[in-house]
A and B are shown apart, each in its own frame.
Chain A
Amino acid sequence: MIKFDNVTYVYPTGVKALDGVSVEIGRGELVAIMGENGAGKTTFIKHLNGLLKPTSGSVYVDGKNTKTLSVAQLSKIVGVVFQNADDMFFLPTVEEEVAFSLRNLGFSEEVVQKRVDWALNFMELEEYRKRSPFLLSGGEKKRLALAIILAWNPQVIAMDEPTVGQDSLQKEKLKEMIKQLNLQERTVIISTHDVEFVAELKPRVILMSRGRIVADGKADVILTDGELLSNCSILMPQVAATMSRLADLGFNAKVISVEEAVRNIVEGLMRFEHIRGA
């Protein structure tokens, strides 16, 4: 679905944000792009819908080279939700905001109506339909931003730092929503440094550092590799950090979820019980 072929991107200021990035993301995958500030995460995301075109190399979306398509055309396939929802709002009501993009992308008026209803419903914003987007709370604004993008049903949804400034209830909702989207076979790509959130989602993790991909694999493998994480200035999720302290006692340090950790410790303790009993 998404293919980066040896992509290098240099900003006009001379900063090389992507350096020979090659990766493939399949349809329906759930991927987390992680890395410290300046690693190239946002630059990566901006290549997905053509906001940025590679300085060298190519990006393919659904088989098409992004250099041959406009941002509007690519956005139909790849919906990108940026970190700051406030950067989008300018219309008097929530429903107009959702309708705006649909009209821009050329949908007929009746389809627009249906899609607006669906999106507001899915993101639980129906009660705010006629409200001004400027009067929404932070969490509601983020939901609206998501509703706007989801409305035209893009196959790929990319989110840049979706959890910043969110409280735990909002993060739970976000997690549920991402899982839902994934179940509906959409490709979901999130760029984030929220390790705990990623640990709970357990997606495929692509770790970036200084414009390069340094690791690509399952969340429980990458988020438990202490050396790898510290080289990329990422904190280990608390579960993994705790388990790594107990590694010398024979416990499995490669777990990131609470349930697995508990199971592992309990089994380990039972072993000790056995030894003592013997």
Chain B
Amino acid sequence: MSILEGLKFYAGDTAIHKLDPRVKFLVSMLMLIIVVMYAEVWMLTVLIAVQAVIVYIAKVMRRWLKTIKGSMPLAALVFGLNAIFFISTGTYATLQEVFYHSIALAYRLVLFLSSFSIFFLTTTPEEIGLTLTSWRVPYPYTFAFISAIRFTPIIAQELRDIMDAQRARGVELDRGGLLQRAKKLIPILVPLLANALRRAYELAEAMEVKCFGAAKKRTSLRELKAGPKDYAVLLTVLVLFSLAVYYRFFPF
């Protein structure tokens, strides 16, 4: 699934990567708000252009484009459904207007994904964990989040192994009607669940041995420190954002 390509975590060495992840997160959020505020194609295009520049600096153009490409089917669906809706309810007088507004909606969907994509492409999972900690999210939640990221590829591999093992016993996973295929999920899900529980037990043991929960106040090896560059970027973005908001309500 190429949409997921653009959401996978990726580390690098560009100026964008080195920015404080909290700033990046905020930037993504602000971009999202603008997408919500504006339905005009020209503004959305400005936004995409800005994103393209950022992506270019961060050298993740190819993957970012993959997300956009991957979201095309969904965008087309949104376009189609909305066009039909507008036409059938007669919301707009001319066909031109219907097209314009349907495209704008599809465009916004794409921008939604692309805004998030930038964040994930340039931020490591570790940094995301640190962000949560710096925002005083209680440690158990951060830990759950990090564990989910840490173990997802492992569980994914396990799923493949289970499917192989069951196929080698004559279970034909790719054949059969909907009901049959649903039944065939059982020999896949039961071992997966059993393994997950077993793994959870072993992990709990290791956590115990590593004093999890011992201290009321947990310290950390690394901590996020925002530098002058980060503040500069934050300031710039806030100014631009304020302009965009102002323009929305007081167009000049």
Contacts and interface: CB of A to CB of B under 8 A. Distances in A.
Contacts of B164: 46, 51, 82, 87
B191 A101 contact: no
Contact of A82 (B161, B171, B190, B198): B161
Interface string A68-112: 001110011001101010111110000000001100110000000
A49 interface: yes
Contacts of B168: 49, 51, 71, 75, 79-80, 82, 149
**Which DSSP category, helix, strand, loop or mixed, fits chain B's interface?**
helix
A80 B187 CA distance: 17
Interface in B155-206: 158, 161-162, 164-172, 186-187, 190-191, 194-195, 198
A272 interface: no
Contacts of B194: 86, 89-90, 134
B195 A86 contact: yes
Nearest to B187: A90
Given A90-B191, A134-B194, A72 B170 contact: yes
A255 interface: no
Contacts of B186: 90
Contacts, number: 64
Given A88-B191, A90-B190, A105 B165 contact: no
Report, as a range, how many residues of chain A touch the other chain.
20 to 34
B198 A86 contact: yes
Given A70-B172, A72-B172, A82-B161, A88 B166 contact: yes
Given A86-B198, A89-B191, A104 B170 contact: yes
Contacts of B195: 86-87
Contacts of A76: 170
B165 A75 contact: no
Contacts of A105: 170
Nearest to A89: B191
Contact of B170 (A84, A89, A90, A101): A101
B89 to A, nearest CB: 45
Contacts of B190: 89-90
Contacts of B171: 72, 104
A71 B165 contact: no
Given A86-B194, A89-B194, A100 B161 contact: no
A101 B171 CA distance: 8
A51 B164 CA distance: 7
A34 interface: no
A84 B167 contact: no
A148 interface: yes
Interface in A87-143: 87-90, 100-101, 104-105, 134
Contacts of A79: 168
A209 B167 CA distance: 27
B200 to A, nearest CB: 14
Interface in B121-164: 158, 161-162, 164
A87 B172 contact: no
A104 B161 contact: no
B190 to A, nearest CB: 3
B158 A87 contact: yes
Interface string B87-117: 0000000000000000000000000000000
Contact of A75 (B158, B162, B169, B198): B169
A86 B169 contact: no
A49 B198 CA distance: 29
A75 B170 contact: yes
Contact of B169 (A46, A84, A148): A148
B167 A72 contact: yes
Contacts of A87: 158, 161-162, 164-166, 191, 195
A98 to B, nearest CB: 10
B160 to A, nearest CB: 10
Contact of A84 (B161, B166, B187): B161
Nearest to B170: A104
Interface string A7-46: 0000000000000000000000000000000000000001
A87 B167 CA distance: 11
16 contacts: A46-B164, A51-B164, A51-B167, A51-B168, A75-B168, A75-B170, A84-B161, A86-B194, A87-B162, A87-B191, A88-B162, A89-B190, A89-B191, A100-B187, A104-B172, A148-B169
Given A46-B164, A88-B162, A89-B194, 16 more contacts: A51-B167, A71-B168, A75-B168, A75-B170, A80-B168, A82-B164, A82-B165, A82-B168, A87-B162, A88-B165, A88-B169, A90-B186, A104-B169, A105-B170, A134-B194, A149-B168
Interface of B: 158, 161-162, 164-172, 186-187, 190-191, 194-195, 198
The 9 closest A-B pairs by CB, nearest first: A90-B190, A104-B170, A101-B169, A87-B165, A105-B170, A80-B168, A87-B162, A71-B167, A72-B170
